[in-house]
Amino acid sequence: MFMRLVQFKIKTDQLSGLRQEYETVVVPALGDIDGCRFAGLIHSARNPDECMSLTLWNTPDHIEAYERSGKYAELLKGLEPYFSDSSKWKIQLSEDSTLEYAPVPEEPVVHANPIGAAMDNNAPGQLPRDTMYLRIVYITIKPGMLDEFRTIYNEEIIPTLRSVQGCRIAYLTESIENREQIYSVTIWDSQADAEKYETSGQFDELTGKIRHTFSELFQWKMELDKQVGGQTATSEDLTIESYAIVTGRNFDLK
């Protein structure tokens, strides 16, 4: 199974309209496409202008067929009125040789990654609006440690998450471009359930089981932070992003 994320920036006052468009046009369209198992619109808890469309697919061939069919471009065009203008500007000469400045629409960022482990605790078909919560943990691991990381995730982390209140779905996805980049994606009944999991110490306990697979830079940063009491973020840091699930549907449960 593959996870595809399409990330884009929106006009913050247009979230309601975007949700309506996604719910009434995008979700039904994706439900009719061969190989698509899930589609959801998620909204960043930290950056109110950031949204993502998250879809799950049987194989990368299904994703490629979807893109080649022109349906992706058609659906994306329907969402464009809700996208924010890019902060990038195009400078060009007009017909009378004066300089013109025009905003350039920012292209959505697309990631498609294989899923190396999965858990599904009775995921609902139609997702409740504005209640479910999604967490993505970005991790950089040492070269050659992917198999060990995946084994621990399957044998220890997923069984624990299965018993955690409110945790519905857990996916481990692996970057195609960078074999050392891992994403742990979990979907929760509510933000309160996800925060309770973090503050209970369970997240730290599970992280401890796989910490030895993290990049040396990340471990060094952790030790440095303990000594100086600061927090340093780098491209190889463990990063947690949280999102509200605005709307979505599990097509396996039609």
Helix axes of 60-68 and 71-79: crossing angle, nearest 10 degrees? 70
- Would you say residue 122 lies in a domain? yes
Which residue stretches of 80-200 are H helix? 146-152, 158-162, 191-199
In this prediction, residue 228 carries a pLDDT of 47
Residues 245 and 132: beta-carbon distance below 8 Å: yes
Give the single-character DSSP code of 191: H
Q: What does pTM read for this prediction? A: 0.72
Whether residue 25 lies inside any domain: the answer is: yes
- Structural domain count, the chain: 1
Q: Does 90 fall in a domain? A: no
Percent of the chain scoring above 70 in pLDDT? 70
| Mean per-residue pLDDT over the chain, rounded | 78
Of 46-55, 106-115, 137-146, 179-188, the one with minimum mean pLDDT is 106-115
Q: Could you tell me whether strands 239-250 and 89-93 are parallel, antiparallel, or unpaired per DSSP bridges?
A: unpaired
- Band (pLDDT 50/70/90 cuts) for residue 137 is confident
Query: Is 91 part of a structural domain of the chain?
Result: no
Q: Would residue 93 count as lying in a domain? A: no
Residue 117: inside a domain: yes
Collapsed DSSP state (helix, strand, coil) of residue 40: strand
Q: How far is CA 78 from CA 17, 18, 98, in A?
A: 11, 10, 34
Print the domain residue range for 229. Answer: 2-85+102-253
Q: Would 96 be classed as within a structural domain?
A: no
Does residue 148 sit within a domain? yes
How far apart are alpha carbons 174 and 139 in whole angstroms? 10
Backbone angles phi, psi at 202, to 5 degrees: -65, -40
Short-list 245, 3, 5, CA closest to 126: 245
CB neighbour burial string for 31-68, b if at least 16 within 10 angstroms, e if fewer: eebebbbbbbbbbbeeeeebbbbbbbbeeeebbeebee
111-135 pLDDT, tens per residue?
656 566 666 665 555 555 556 788 8
CATH code of the domain covering residue 37: 3.30.70.100
**Would you say residue 142 has pLDDT above 80?**
yes
Over residues 206-230, the mean pLDDT reads 71
pLDDT of the residue at 25: 95
